[in-house]
């Protein structure tokens, strides 16, 4: 790294940071997908009713926004289960009182989720998209630096005026 400008050093760090962060996100996406796939393979089915919404305040945005996570209720063998979904959206993905299909773990019925693409695969998809984006940025910086290095390479003359490449 000696002889390189501060910008070049920063680009190298950003390149590796983006690439490694992207790979980490992709590992998380694969892990979450494997967990979800296993859950879906063994899950039991029921019908639930959206009974309320939990408001999740997102203060990272300016202005702050609210996401609405559904709370749903379903009954198994005479026992009522109330589940608070961790996946919220704005606008709401479901209506109050709406009947929704749910999947649940028969050994732990409180481990349940609404049977919809976003509720099932949203987290894994988000990590996959983030991983692909970050890795692409890292690789783009690598190729940009490689092209710049190749373009700045000038063959030197040797004795006798011959050039080599």
C-alpha pair distances (Å), 80 with each of 10, 13, 71, 74, 107: 56, 53, 13, 6, 15
> Within a domain: residue 154?
no
The pLDDT assigned to 3 comes to 64
Per-chain mean pLDDT for the chain = 88
> Within a domain: residue 4?
no
* Residues in CB range of 138: below 8 A, 6 or more apart: 14, 15, 16, 17, 18, 19, 20, 22
C-alpha pair distances (Å), 81 with each of 64, 70, 98, 138: 32, 14, 16, 46
Q: Quick check: 159 pLDDT over 90?
A: no
* Residues in CB range of 30: below 8 A, 6 or more apart: none
Per-residue pLDDT reduced to its tens digit, 81-131: 999 998 888 888 899 999 999 999 999 999 999 999 988 898 999 999 999
Cα–Cα distance measured from residue 42 to residue 106, given in angstroms and rounded to the nearest whole number: 8
> Within a domain: residue 113?
yes
Q: Name the domain count of the chain.
A: 1
> Within a domain: residue 125?
yes
Q: Quick check: 70 pLDDT over 90?
A: yes
Q: Which two tokens stand for residue 148?
A: 């710049």
> Within a domain: residue 2?
no
> Within a domain: residue 152?
no
> Within a domain: residue 1?
no
> Within a domain: residue 30?
yes
| Residue-range definition of the domain harbouring residue 40 | 13-146
User: pTM of the full predicted structure?
Assistant: 0.72
């Amino acid at each position: 790294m000696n002889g390189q400008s501060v910008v070049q050093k920063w680009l190298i760090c950003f390149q590796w940071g983006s690439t490694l962060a992207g790979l980490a996100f992709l590992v998380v996406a694969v892990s979450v997908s494997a967990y979800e796939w296993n859950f879906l393979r063994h899950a039991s089915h029921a019908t639930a009713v959206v009974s309320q919404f939990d408001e999740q305040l997102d203060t990272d945005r300016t202005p702050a926004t609210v996401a609405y996570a559904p709370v749903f209720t379903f009954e198994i063998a005479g026992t009522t289960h109330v589940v608070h979904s961790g996946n919220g959206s704005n606008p709401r993905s479901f209506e109050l009182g709406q009947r929704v299909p749910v999947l649940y773990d028969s050994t732990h019925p409180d481990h349940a989720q609404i049977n919809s693409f976003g509720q099932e695969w949203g987290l894994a998809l988000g990590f996959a998209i983030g991983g692909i984006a970050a890795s692409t940025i890292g690789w783009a910086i690598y190729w940009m630096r490689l092209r710049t290095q190749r373009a700045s390479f000038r063959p030197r003359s040797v004795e006798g005026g011959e050039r080599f490449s």
